[in-house]
Amino acid sequence: MASSQDQDAGDKPKSKRLFINQIDAFQGRNTAKYLSHCVVGASLEEPEEEDDAKSVDSSVIPPPKEGCYDVVGTTKVRDYSKPDYIKEIIQYDNRDQLYEQLVECDVIVYDITEDPDQIDEAVWAISELHADLEKIEKPKMFILISSCMTWAKSKPLDPDDPEIPFTEDDYRRRKPHPNFKEHISAEKTVIKLGKTNKSKLVTYVVCSGLTYGAEENIFHYLFKSAWHNVPQLQIFGNGQNVVPTIHIKDLAGVIQNIADSRPKVRYLIAKDDAQNTLEEIVKAVSTNLGSGKVKSISKEEALLHRDIEQADFDMLLVNLRMDAVHVKESMRINWVSEGGMVENLTPLIKEYKDLRKLQPLRAVILGPPAAGKTTVADQLCQFYKLHHVKIKDVIDEELEKLAIKARRADVEDEDEDDGAAQDAQDLIDQINESKEQNNGRIEDQYIIQAFKKKLHSMSCQNQGFVLDGFPKTLEQARELFVGEDDEEPEESAKGGNYDKATMPEYVISLEATDDFLKARIMNLPENIVSGSHNTEEGLMRRLADFRAVNTEDETVLNYFDELEFHPEKIDVTTDNSVMMKDTVERIKKIMGTARNYGPTAEEIEQTRKEQEEERMKKEAEEKELRERKEAEEAAERKKRQEEWTQRLNEVKREEFELLETQSYPLRNYLMKHVMPTLTQGLIDCCKVRPEDPIDYLAEYLFQQNPQVD
């Protein structure tokens, strides 16, 4: 196989065609993305300070250099759209067509860790290549990415010291998990068929740890649960099992090194340096992304977890200590996460959020009393799945937390308490004293402190929030959003020092005149106004306070404006819709699309039901309208038919009367001159009954004619 060393000094790097199966799956996609930006032979050279392969961002792909691997591959989904980093997607109707494409590739990578159906295809591919060795002109490399589960039941190297890790040298002693026997059979076939003619076909098996990183795969259920603020992340079993892991980009780096250097070792272990237990991983994710709390559940309960498949469950419960000796000692890998998941969880979480597009959405709704801030904020929070942050709720929540901490002093040892309970009690006393001195009002410093804790909470940092009517003053805004001393101030485009983790991206100001607000309060039902601050007197006082701290020259909006978070002012006096729907829709257009996982299965079903009910209601209304129109048309037709019939009868009567009138002279003439003679002739004819009555009657009439002599 040609390497970069075979090229002349002035030659451009020579590309190689590299096949990867199922490039639309997690591992295939990320491996392909990584290798498509690797120059052939680059891993054989001393790495530069910043290597392009390491800096590949899964969300922003720079154009590949010349001489990179030309990645082609198959897909699991037939109509998968080809990404820019893929040279060609192989479409085939039968395996003969697939084989024609495989023989054109220099390196063939088959991953059998995600889809068990790919095991048979991988074995078929290496068997066909081996059968055609004499016909193969260009040398081929076949790399099988297999699972560490083929070692799951291996006996410890030293029963007295079970912590001694397995290495590549022990691969002949490996014993698979019962559900992974087909994987080990495929491994053995690949190793065996690669020994016949190494100059034409060389094979490798990569035993991969559980992959993490990018948008996450097997650990996705953990990250997703933590991001959704599940109270406690679940540990399957006792959690003391050691889980072999490797970042997906580091696994791709191992593939790159094999493709570049053709190592002599045919069986390689690919994992990071960590020997983390499942409990350590779950706790780290919970602490850095979730509530910080975990709980252990039995394996039987874990099997009922709807987000975990059987194969993933088996892998999460594996207990293996492994050491990737050859990878660490003989390969040049620009490690993304050499120290493992727990050590590198902060950048892993950022990577996960970026690729899943789970960025927090932060907004603040400001405006005078009774402008509808809470009504609007509540609907926005429901639509975007954000946290509705209201002054009363924040204060109540903070006081409750302080009370819980203070009560712990009565049940915990003083040594274990570490003074936290006493600090909580002291703060409660200070707040109560402040309320007594300020007519029941809590000073701003305590309110700001509670708000900062709330906005920095993991839930608000994960999903985002809508601040409802706070801050109220310019000074409150400065204190609430000021950057910490140990942080670098956010300068440049958004000039000024502010806390970028809590600063609202969208500032909405609801504008209304005092007269409009008074009229709105006056029109509220008595049962809503009674006992609240929405009385006319209460509104006037609150309006006066609001206008006093928001003068033309000094308003809380100026703070955001100066930082170039320009407020969007919306006149609510023109909104006559129910629950201010028009205003909410305008704000939705300003804030754009949601940044979360989207609706849950239950919400999708509820939406479907609502749409079905709406469709049936619409169809019923249309049917009723259609039937009403048909009835009206039928009644109109009947009315017109009756009128037409009446007019027809009238015409007939008039015609009859006219004929009657016209017939009188004729009748009189006949009665006088014709009927007496004709009648007598008919009587005589009846008496005589001649053989030819017509001739008899004619003769009779002729004889009675007075003009005949």
Per-residue pLDDT tens over the stretch 641-669: 999 999 999 999 888 888 888 888 888 88
Q: What is the pLDDT of residues 335-355, one digit of tens each?
A: 999 999 999 999 999 999 999
Per-residue burial over 6-19, b if 16 or more Cβ lie within 10 Å, else e, is eeeeeeeeebbbbb
Q: Is 365 exposed, middle or buried (0-12, 13-18, 19+ CB in 10 A)?
A: buried
- Predicted local confidence at residue 272, as pLDDT: 95
Task: Round to whole Å and give the CA distance between 264 and 262.
Answer: 7
Packing angle of the helix pair 474-481, 444-455 (nearest 10 deg): 40
Six-digit token string for 75: 């897909």
Q: What is the pLDDT of residues 593-609, one digit of tens each?
A: 999 988 777 777 887 88
15-214+244-273+321-337, CATH topology level: Rossmann fold (3.40.50)
When mean pLDDT is compared across 45-49, 385-389, 448-452, 697-701, the lowest value belongs to: 45-49
Six-digit token string for 301: 């309960």
Average pLDDT, integer, range 550-562: 86
Which has the higher per-residue pLDDT, 198 or 489? 198
Q: Is the pLDDT of residue 5 over 50?
A: no
- Predicted local confidence at residue 677, as pLDDT: 86
* CATH number of the domain located at residue range(s) 663-709 in this protein: 1.20.890.10
**Cα distances (Å, whole numbers) of residue 70 to 23, 52, 64, 416, 507:** 13, 16, 10, 60, 47
When mean pLDDT is compared across 146-155, 244-253, 439-448, 534-543, the lowest value belongs to: 534-543
Indicate the pLDDT class of residue 432, thresholds 50, 70 and 90. confident
The H helix count followed by the E strand count for the chain is: 26, 16
Per-residue burial over 75-104, b if 16 or more Cβ lie within 10 Å, else e, is beeeebeeeebbbebbeeeeeeebbebbee
Q: Which of these, 116, 13, 115, lies nearest to 64 by C-alpha position?
A: 13
Stated pTM of the model: 0.79
In sequence order, which residues have a C-beta less than 8 Å from that of residue 661 and are 6 or more positions away? none
Q: Is the pLDDT of residue 258 over 50?
A: yes
Q: Is the pLDDT of residue 54 over 50?
A: no
Report the C-alpha dihedral over residues 592, 594, 598, 604, rounded to 10 degrees.
Answer: -50
- Predicted local confidence at residue 532, as pLDDT: 57
Q: Is the pLDDT of residue 8 over 50?
A: no
Indicate the pLDDT class of residue 672, thresholds 50, 70 and 90. confident
φ and ψ at 184, to 5 degrees? -70, -30
What is the share, in percent, of the chain residues with pLDDT greater than 90? Answer: 61
Task: Round to whole Å and give the CA distance between 82 and 258.
Answer: 26
Average pLDDT, integer, range 41-59: 58
Residue 82 DSSP one-character state: P
**Cα distances (Å, whole numbers) of residue 680 to 669, 698, 699, 704:** 17, 12, 13, 10
Six-digit token string for 517: 């607000």
Average pLDDT, integer, range 364-393: 94
Q: What is the pLDDT of residues 290-318, one digit of tens each?
A: 999 999 998 888 877 777 788 888 999 99
Task: Round to whole Å and give the CA distance between 128 and 125.
Answer: 5
What type of residue sits at position 585?
E
φ and ψ at 397, to 5 degrees? -65, -40
When mean pLDDT is compared across 13-22, 174-183, 533-542, the lowest value belongs to: 533-542
Task: Round to whole Å and give the CA distance between 256 and 248.
Answer: 12
**Same topology between domain 15-214+244-273+321-337 and domain 358-591:** yes
Which has the higher per-residue pLDDT, 95 or 66? 95
- Predicted local confidence at residue 186, as pLDDT: 96
- Predicted local confidence at residue 376, as pLDDT: 95
* Domain parsing of the chain, residue ranges: 15-214+244-273+321-337, 358-591, 599-632, 663-709
Average pLDDT, integer, range 264-289: 95
- Predicted local confidence at residue 316, as pLDDT: 93
Q: Any alpha helices (H) in 94-235, and if so which ranges?
A: 95-102, 117-131, 181-193, 220-227
When mean pLDDT is compared across 172-181, 289-298, 399-408, the lowest value belongs to: 399-408
Q: Identify the CATH assignment for 358-591 out of 1.10.10.60, 3.40.50.12780, 3.40.50.300, 3.30.70.790.
A: 3.40.50.300
Indicate the pLDDT class of residue 526, thresholds 50, 70 and 90. low
- Predicted local confidence at residue 174, as pLDDT: 94
Cis peptide before 139 (omega within 30 of 0): no
Q: Any alpha helices (H) in 39-196, and if so which ranges?
A: 95-102, 117-131, 181-193
Q: Is the pLDDT of residue 12 over 50?
A: yes
Mean pLDDT, the chain, as a whole number? 87
What is the share, in percent, of the chain residues with pLDDT greater than 70? Answer: 90
Which has the higher per-residue pLDDT, 54 or 567? 567
Indicate the pLDDT class of residue 87, thresholds 50, 70 and 90. very high
Which has the higher per-residue pLDDT, 66 or 641? 641
- Predicted local confidence at residue 62, as pLDDT: 56
φ and ψ at 365, to 5 degrees? -110, 115
Report the C-alpha dihedral over residues 255, 259, 265, 267, rounded to 10 degrees.
Answer: 40
Indicate the pLDDT class of residue 449, thresholds 50, 70 and 90. very high
- Predicted local confidence at residue 308, as pLDDT: 78
Indicate the pLDDT class of residue 409, thresholds 50, 70 and 90. low
Q: Is the pLDDT of residue 459 over 90?
A: yes
